[in-house]
Chain A
Amino acid sequence: MNELNFVNQLSARGYSRRDFIKFCTVMAASMGLPLSAGEKIASAVESPTRPPVIWISGQGCTGCTESLLRTTHPTLEHLILDMISLDYNETLNAGAGHQAEKFMHDSIEKNSGKFVLVVEGSIPTKDGGIYCKVAGTPFVDIVKETAKKAAATIAIGSCASWGGIPSAEPNPTGAKGVKDVLPNATVMNIPGCPANPYNFTSAVAYFLTYNKLPELDSQARPKFAYSRLIHENCERRPHFDAGRFAEQFGDEGHRRGYCLYKLGCKGPVTYNNCSVLGFNDVGSWPVKTGHPCFGCSEEGVGFHIPQFVEANLQKESLFTPAATPANIEYQRGGNITATAAGLVGLAVGAAAGAGIVATRRLKSEEEAGNQ
């Protein structure tokens, strides 16, 4: 039996091909692709000509890798990763040290122009990038060198996408995202802290199927996951629209699950699909547990704007009407200030006064004239 035969691998782990197709169909749907794309994805994943993936880590916490491991379509994920041939990942490598490095360099040479580079963690650039070195080489140089030979580069996590937590003020190491270090390369960002693993796997499956990256927005994030604000898909949105807010942790509103906007929720300024997809396969995400979103995936929001500063509502999402429309009629205009009323009175008085004075003099003049 050919160990690498996909169908055999599936059955060995107790999954029928039909289950696999179903999975690919769901993945297609989550990317906003037509259901028929599920078949295409399936055949792409099965195909033996899948490129290897080199996964390098910089100034990171490895949370994104851990996140990926927490996906509980268990064996299927491992299958996909296996079949993708994850040639190098510092967390998952069997070997270590020089042996691991050699394996990576060999794979890069052998698959030059065909492999997918995944970068996790931010890239320090200050002082020649000495604040993160792997095997003696500054990480910034590793990224530049490796990306040159890659077919595509994926930045997983906020750190790799735009600098993440190391880039918080005062950013002592000059931490930057991949796109800032590789201005001319084709980079796809999957921000998040950690990134939602399904955003990553879906994007990779898309790439395998269509041999190109999915549609990206102006910050190189896949639109299927990052085109809407958290606020647009939040389950507490009706509370926002109706003006029901939690004012403090533990208060009545908080217990009732009201909107967390006043507690500094950054949902209105953060693009991601956490509210839709959820994490850990139980659909949980911060707001659901009662903690306001802090915008971990959004550059300029996460780790930059303090938690309890209210989000500055922007135009696109936001200005939707409140839950209750306007009444048919309102009283407005016509405020009478005391000064204004006084002036009107003054005018009337002056005219009357002029008249009275005039007629008095008229009387005396006429009497003088008659004499």
Chain B
Amino acid sequence: MSEAKPYGGRVLTIPFIVGLLVILVMFGFLVQRFLYGLGPVSGMNDGYPWGLWIAYDVNVGTAFACGGYAMAILIFIFNKFEYSPLLKPAILTSFLGYALAGFSIFFDIGRYWNMQNIFLPWHANVHSAMFEVALCIAAYCLVLLIETAPPFLQKFKLNNIEKKLNKVLFIFVALGMLLPTMHQSSLGSLMVLSGSKMSPLYWSQALPLFFLLAALLLGYTIVVFEATLSGVAFNNPSELNILKKLSAIIPWVVGIFLIIRLQDINARGALDAIFAGDLAGNFFILESLLLIAALALLIPAKNRADSRKVFWGAFCALLGAGLYRFNAYIIGFSPGNGWHYFPTTPEILITFGIIAIEILVFVWAVKRAPLMPFPGKKSQA
């Protein structure tokens, strides 16, 4: 295994600057949000109190950020050490994803100045699924911060701290596998409470299980997606072979997910809702088609030798599982009484800004910190 090193090169490329502009626009709208409230800036309303920010930035975003979690399970539980090179960038993506989800929560909740109440014992409601999610995500952010540290400690030459950290790292690694299991499933538990307002295609008492499976799936597929893109962007085809191996796991998870979901819907007698022609039914079909496409692309061993098919297969599964999580919060949620929702332009642009931050920080880190192994390159100071 070759050593991780910074990629080097110019950070401020044209795409990077475009990204900075998007972030600037985001901050402009955030000023509007803090001055005038959530209503003027977003399309959320009393029927749909959760919109793009919760359903995507937090819900799907943290699932995308499960790369580190998914890889850690492979490496530590199944002893697949050959995946180790993928771990560091996955952890960074995880950290960014969770930190930005936390930031999204900060500007989404209406009374952000009371945010600390969740952590105060005399306010906290331990029966609340949201409480469990919040606490777990906060703890996991700390864990990720610590796990992300080593490459950056190396970059900033803080080697003593790095050595001490490495001695106790295993505790954080363990937490890094426990905590996401808890909160990714709890993100599903959240929606168990609003059963009367959910489509039978998306409500189930097994929601926590589905959300966990989707998180795992999203973890593997985001690793493939991001590693392929960065492998192409940074001229580093060495990781592509590892990805081909990883892609063998994906169809298993997709298959288990699909089967359990379908049987769950069948057990509740709601199969005909799939073809009802309404929004929930149609989006269910879309998400299932994406997952089935992933299966078709990744089951044949011949396909898994082809980086392109690996990429598209993973991408389809990524979209399918991501869409599932999004659907469970928005499309499958119908409060009735004439309420509708669609995000507004500022709302969407703010989300674009969040995504831009994630990409830009990652690119900067690849170029400036020893994050990924580049066999052909010499080490740079």
Q: Do chains A and B touch in the complex (CB under 8 A)?
A: yes
Is there a chain B Cβ closer than 8 Å to A330's Cβ? yes
Give chain A interface residues in 313-370, CB to chain B under 8 Å: 329-337, 339-340, 343-344, 347, 354-355, 357-359, 361-363, 365-366, 369
Task: List residues of A whose CB falls within 8 A of some B CB.
Answer: 329-337, 339-340, 343-344, 347, 354-355, 357-359, 361-363, 365-366, 369
Shortest B369–chain A CB gap in Å is 23
Question: Are B311 and A344 touching (Cβ within 8 A)?
Answer: no
Shortest B227–chain A CB gap in Å is 11
Question: Are A362 and B311 touching (Cβ within 8 A)?
Answer: yes
Shortest A136–chain B CB gap in Å is 66
Choice from A332, A337, A339, A355 contacting B339 with Cβ under 8 Å: A332
Further 4 A-B residue pairs, CB within 8 A, beyond A340-B342, A365-B232: A331-B340, A335-B43, A347-B352, A362-B228
Task: List residues of B whose CB falls within 8 A of some A CB.
Answer: 43, 45, 47-48, 228-229, 232, 235, 237, 240, 307-308, 311-312, 315, 337-345, 347-349, 352
28 examples of A-B residue contacts, CB within 8 angstroms: A330-B337, A332-B47, A332-B340, A333-B43, A333-B47, A333-B339, A334-B43, A334-B48, A334-B340, A334-B341, A335-B342, A337-B345, A340-B43, A340-B342, A340-B344, A340-B347, A343-B352, A344-B343, A347-B348, A355-B312, A357-B232, A358-B228, A358-B311, A359-B311, A362-B232, A362-B308, A362-B311, A366-B240
Shortest A90–chain B CB gap in Å is 63
Contacts of B344 in A (CB 8 A): 337, 340
A340 and B345 contact, Cβ closer than 8 Å, known pairs A333-B45, A333-B47:
yes
Question: Are A332 and B338 touching (Cβ within 8 A)?
Answer: yes
Q: Binding site of A, secondary structure by majority: helix, strand, loop or mixed?
A: helix
Shortest A234–chain B CB gap in Å is 36
Shortest B237–chain A CB gap in Å is 5
Contacts of B337 in A (CB 8 A): 329-330
Question: Are A329 and B342 touching (Cβ within 8 A)?
Answer: no
Question: Are A340 and B348 touching (Cβ within 8 A)?
Answer: yes
Choice from A333, A337, A365 contacting B48 with Cβ under 8 Å: A333
Shortest A281–chain B CB gap in Å is 55
- What CA separation (Å) do A330 and B229 show in the bound complex? 47
Shortest B57–chain A CB gap in Å is 13
- What CA separation (Å) do A371 and B240 show in the bound complex? 17
- What CA separation (Å) do A335 and B341 show in the bound complex? 7
- What CA separation (Å) do A334 and B333 show in the bound complex? 14
Shortest A327–chain B CB gap in Å is 9
Contacts of A369 in B (CB 8 A): 237
Shortest A356–chain B CB gap in Å is 10
A354 and B229 contact, Cβ closer than 8 Å, known pairs A359-B308, A362-B311:
yes
Question: Are A332 and B311 touching (Cβ within 8 A)?
Answer: no
Shortest A72–chain B CB gap in Å is 59
- What CA separation (Å) do A73 and B48 show in the bound complex? 67
- Chain B CB within 10 Å, residue with most, of A330, A339, A343, A347: A343
Question: Are A355 and B311 touching (Cβ within 8 A)?
Answer: yes
Contacts of A333 in B (CB 8 A): 43, 45, 47-48, 339-341
Choice from B45, B237, B312 contacting A332 with Cβ under 8 Å: B45
Contacts of A331 in B (CB 8 A): 338, 340
Choice from B235, B311, B315, B342 contacting A336 with Cβ under 8 Å: B342
Contacts of A330 in B (CB 8 A): 337-338
Shortest B301–chain A CB gap in Å is 17
Contacts of A334 in B (CB 8 A): 43, 48, 339-342
Q: List the B residue with the shortest CB-CB distance to A344.
A: B348
- What CA separation (Å) do A369 and B342 show in the bound complex? 46
- What CA separation (Å) do A363 and B308 show in the bound complex? 7
Shortest A369–chain B CB gap in Å is 6
Question: Are B349 and A343 touching (Cβ within 8 A)?
Answer: yes
- What CA separation (Å) do A329 and B336 show in the bound complex? 9
Please list the 9 inter-chain residue pairs (A to B) with the smallest Cβ-Cβ separation, ordered nearest first: A334-B340, A333-B45, A359-B308, A331-B338, A339-B345, A343-B348, A336-B342, A333-B340, A361-B232
